[in-house]
Structure 1
Amino acid sequence: MPLAMPILAGPGAISSIIVFAESHDEIGIAHKLLVLGVAASIAIYIYVTFRLAAMSDRLFNDNVVLIVNRVMGLIIAAIAFEFLLDGFAEHFPGIETIHDHEGH
């Protein structure tokens, strides 16, 4: 078993495909072929994306990669901080977050 398969398609995705493929028995083989086609198209998309990412490695030098890594780390830290604030707001009703004002 290749290591990338469980990372790309975890147990949730695999079980969702199995349940979705078996959920419409009245349609029959056409539905299962459709699900297979969707899964195959996603696999091809991921393959092309990985090949392009491997080729783009030659386009960027080490400084560009370092800058992109730091910016992405900053974005992930901001998202994590937002999750923390939302969690605190759920447990302490006196705290308001930006999500308290959206759509209410």
Structure 2
Amino acid sequence: MTTVLSDFIGAFVTLFVVVEPLGLAPVFLAATAGHSGAARASIAARACFYAFLILTGAAFGGAALLRAMGITLPAFRVAGGLLLFSIASEMVLGVRLGRDSATAHQALGENGRNVAAFPLAIPLMAGPGAITATLLIAGEAHGDAARLAALIGAILAVVVLCWIVCRLATGVQRLVGASASIVMEKLIGVLLASLAVQFVMDGAKSLFS
């Protein structure tokens, strides 16, 4: 029992540091700008659900899947960085939705469904770092059911924290105001672009080292 608890604590601390749930709030607000409170609640729930599925899948068969497809973790990191950069550029420069309102509403609805999976679930919650950490911890379990259960429990705890942060962020934004939210969106877009470049640099460095 003590071993399982220590495994849970170790996995939780590792994933908490890598995922950084507290830093998710401004990104969540920027990515869901223009959505209602109900839509944001739905996006937060779906994003956390997707992240849980991704990390749980990585724990049970992620390494085997990557090997079977011939994909390395550095390559995955580069791809994630490039995709994240495209989202960051849209946040900073704005997205041209189209002229008629029907098209605009349709695009906004599609964006609401998509941001739950990308960039919130992946690569922000279940990014290359979190997937790598999960793969390493799962490898150390050597197929032991109790240790794998501790890892899954840690993943669930971190994801629940992410959900709590996202839900509280909406209330905080109401206090801040619309103008500050727009400034925050642009600033977070720049920070995400920097994070994307760092993903690509780290992945390229690992590929060529």
Q: TM-score, normalised by structure 1?
A: 0.53
Gaps spanning 5+ residues in structure 2: where?
A: 1-44, 62-137
Q: TM-score, normalised by structure 2?
A: 0.31
How big is the shift at 1:10?
6.3
User: Equivalences for 1:1-104 in 2 at 5 Å?
Assistant: 3-4=46-47, 5-6=49-50, 8-9=51-52, 11=54, 13-19=55-61, 20=138, 24-25=142-143, 28-78=144-194
Measure the CA separation in 2 of the matches of 1:80 and 1:33: 32
Measure the CA separation in 2 of the matches of 1:32 and 1:79: 30
How big is the shift at 1:18?
1.4
Q: Relative contact order (alpha carbons < 8 A, sep ≥ 6): 1 or 2 greater? A: 2
Measure the CA separation in 2 of the matches of 1:38 and 1:14: 10
Structure 1's consecutive aligned runs of 4 or more residues displaced over 6 angstroms after TM superposition are: 81-84
How big is the shift at 1:78?
5.0
Note the alpha carbon deviations across 1:48-93, whole angstroms, 9 max, x for none: 1112112212211111011111222233445667889x6xxx8xxx
How many equivalent residue pairs? 81
**Structure 1, 29-38 or 73-82: larger mean CA deviation:** 73-82
Kindly provide the amino acid, as one letter, of the partner of residue 57 in structure 2: S
Gaps spanning 5+ residues in structure 1: where?
A: 91-98, 100-104
